[in-house]
Structure 1
Amino acid sequence: MNIRSLTRGDGAVIGAAVLLLIASFLPFFSFKSPFNGAESSRNLWHSDYFPILPSVTLAALIAAAAVVLARTGPLVGRQILGLSLEQWAVAISLFVGWTALWATLFDNPDGVDKGAGNWLTLLFGVVIAVAAPLSNRLPALKAPLLGAPRPAAQPYGLGPGQQPYAAGPPQAGYGYPGGAQSVETPYGQPQQAQQPYGAQQSAPQPAAAQGPSSDFTAFWFAVPVPRPLFAEDNPGAQIAELTPGTWYLAVDQRGSALIAQTQDGRRGVLQDSSGIQRG
């Protein structure tokens, strides 16, 4: 489960659900006992208000769980009864907001006063009902909740995703296969550095791994949410899915789309480059 796929809107829905759970333990109504006049209070877990508990508090927790599974769980992209998990989360959140509004403003039994739990239930019920449908529409709520991780410090000359010599084949350079290097002699005449005995020339790098054209500077980037990568010659054919927390190399640009290369060498078109984080 990769929580970096969550957006700020998702975080607002989850946070509101948690706060609704906390509010359910606070006094919802307070009243004076008709027998001795003592002040008493009850929260949503009392049997008298049980219809409100599953309709507001427990439903909000279900909406938050649907948000998490829609972004990070094994059910990403799946549908249940014809609706995606995101659509279910929006529908349940709107139901929570309406029920909280009705239960706190229009349900006023005689002889009772509203407690702190009552007003907090109204507040966070409205928050979850607003945040859920707007989480994929407002740019401020579509931004990643945690952001992509910064690349780890690499030895000089290595970029994100490249491994030093201890973890992979050495880079071409002096003393390594394919690493012929010009060396100045004492007389000022350059000569070719000798290869180790029995070493073979390394194969040239494939064209896809070479740098882009001169009018574009390649850069590393990470996506805020999972996004498909399409074939260059067939915009409708998906060849990979870019996931948050992984760095990819942008090698060219076509309008607003990027030509991206995955760590296994596959190259395709990232049609949606909004919200990416540059390395």
Structure 2
Amino acid sequence: MNIRSLTRGDGVVIGAAILLFIASFLDFLAVECPSGAPSSACSSWNGWSSDFATTTAGIFILGVVGAALVVVSHLLPQRNLFGLTLEQWGTAFVVAAAFSSTWTMLFSHPDGLEKGPGQIMGFIVLLVLAAATVVGSRLPALKAPLMGAASPQPAAPYGGQPGQVGQPAGGYGYPGGAQQGAAPSPYGAPAAGQPSYGGQPGAAAPAAAAGGEFAPFWFAVPVARPLYAEDGSATPIAELAPGTWYLAVEQRGQALVAQTQDGRRGVLQDTTGIQRG
């Protein structure tokens, strides 16, 4: 699980899910009290009332579960459930909950009952939640890292070796320069004593294959580029962001098979202008 893979869009989804959960405890429907009537004569029901469970479950529970699936899909390696990713299931749940809330607000209003603050708040929050899940991966402002990763230093030119002048001291996921007295590792792979991809200091670095075969190396992209599934699907599974180091684990012609920080693997078809660590 890699919390650094969360974006600002995920932060909006998490915040909206918390507000939706709070709204479920507020009055969803209430009896319209005549003027001067005692409060004991007026009843109200929140989102957990059994009298309206079939309606509120499709709003509050479905919305919170959908938001959780979207966030979890970004924390774990990609998983498919009945042919859809967790993010796709979560987005569908959130959109369905927003539709159910909108329908209840506009058309489902039993006689003698008035809308409570929980219903109104849930409706607004679900609209925000649906927008964040649907367009969050497309807006640059929401695609930025949530954890505020350190700004990367200028990378070495393509083919440069770790430890050269001007080489970064080590950003997120990037193997630092060679230790004092140690020779740089081949092909830009992490040097001895440096952390391997996603590993801890002192872990073994990817070894170069013998006989001139491909050896894993670190690289960064100059601009955001899509990462496609290894099965040849035309739908991107992730997007590589500039300023972040990724590990190339295989070469297929001019394309590279890259691994992201959360363990997902895919094919980078456009390798022009990449910077090699």
Return the TM-score normalized by structure 1.
Answer: 0.60
Q: Supply the distance in 1 between the matched residues of 2:44 and 2:245 (Cα, whole angstroms).
A: 47
Instruction: Check if 1:68 corresponds to 2:87.
Output: no
Which residue does 1:45 correspond to in 2? Answer: 48
Q: How far 1:47 moved relative to its partner?
A: 1.2
- Partner residue in 1 for 2:89: 88
Equivalent residues in 2 for 1:123-272, closer than 5 Å:
123-149=124-150, 159-160=169-170, 161-162=175-176, 171-172=180-181, 204-206=183-185, 208-209=187-188, 229=248, 231=250, 234-238=253-257, 240-243=258-261, 255=272, 257-261=273-277
Q: Write the letter of the residue equivalent to 1:46.
A: S
Please tell me whether the aligned partners of residues 26 and 117 of structure 2 are also in contact (alpha carbons under 8 angstroms).
Answer: yes
Count of residue pairs brought into register by the alignment: 202
Q: 1:125 to 1:209 in 2, by over 3 A?
A: closer
Residue 130 of structure 1 deviates from its aligned partner by 1.4
1:42 Cα shift? Answer: 1.4
User: Given residue 126 of structure 2, which amino acid in structure 1 is its aligned partner?
Assistant: G
Worse overlay, 116-125 or 38-47: 38-47
Q: Give 1:50 deviation, angstroms.
A: 0.3
Equivalent residue, structure 1, for 2:16: 16
Query: Could you tell me whether the CA contact under 8 Å between 2:63 and 2:98 is conserved in 1?
Result: no
The structure with more radius of gyration: 1
Any conservation in 2 of the 1:144–1:225 contact (CA below 8 Å)? no
* Deviations, residues 100-119 of structure 1 (Å, cap 9, x unaligned): 11112211111122111111
Structure-2 separation of matches of 1:118 and 1:237: 50
Q: Distance in 2 between matches of 1:170 and 1:142?
A: 35
SS at match of 2:142: helix
Q: Over aligned residue pairs, what C-alpha RMSD do you find?
A: 3.7
The answer as to whether partners of 2:249 and 2:256 remain within 8 angstroms in 1 is: yes
Stretches of structure 1 lacking an aligned partner (at least 5 in a row): 152-156, 164-168, 173-201, 211-217, 245-253, 262-279
Q: Deviations over 1:23-78 (max 9, x none)?
A: 010011121579977232211111121012321111112112211221112xx222
- Quote how far apart the aligned CAs of 1:237 are: 4.5
Match of 2:62 in 1: 59
In structure 2, relative to structure 1, the CA distance for the partners of 1:40 and 1:83 (3 Å cut) is same
Q: CA deviation at 1:233?
A: 6.5
Corresponding letter in the other structure for 1:259: Q
State the secondary structure of the residue aligned to 2:43: strand
Q: What is the distance in 2 between the residues matched to 1:227 and 1:138?
A: 22
| In 1: Cα distance, 2:275 partner to 2:179 partner | 27
Question: Which residue of the partner structure matches residue 119 of structure 2?
Answer: 118
Distance 2:185 2:246 in 1: 25
User: What letter is aligned with 2:248?
Assistant: L
Instruction: Indicate conservation of the 8 Å contact 1:6/1:225, yes or no.
Output: no
Asked if 2 retains the 8 angstrom alpha-carbon contact of 1:9 and 1:142, the reply is yes
Shift, 1:125, TM fit: 1.4
Offset of 1:120 from its aligned partner? 0.2
The amino acid across from 1:134 in the alignment is V
Runs of at least 5 residues in structure 2 that lack an aligned partner in the other structure:
153-164, 190-218, 223-239, 263-270
* CA apart distance, 1:94: 0.8
Structure 1 pair 32/91, CA: closer, same or farther in 2 (3 Å)?
A: closer
Is the deviation greater in 119-128 or in 221-230? Answer: 221-230
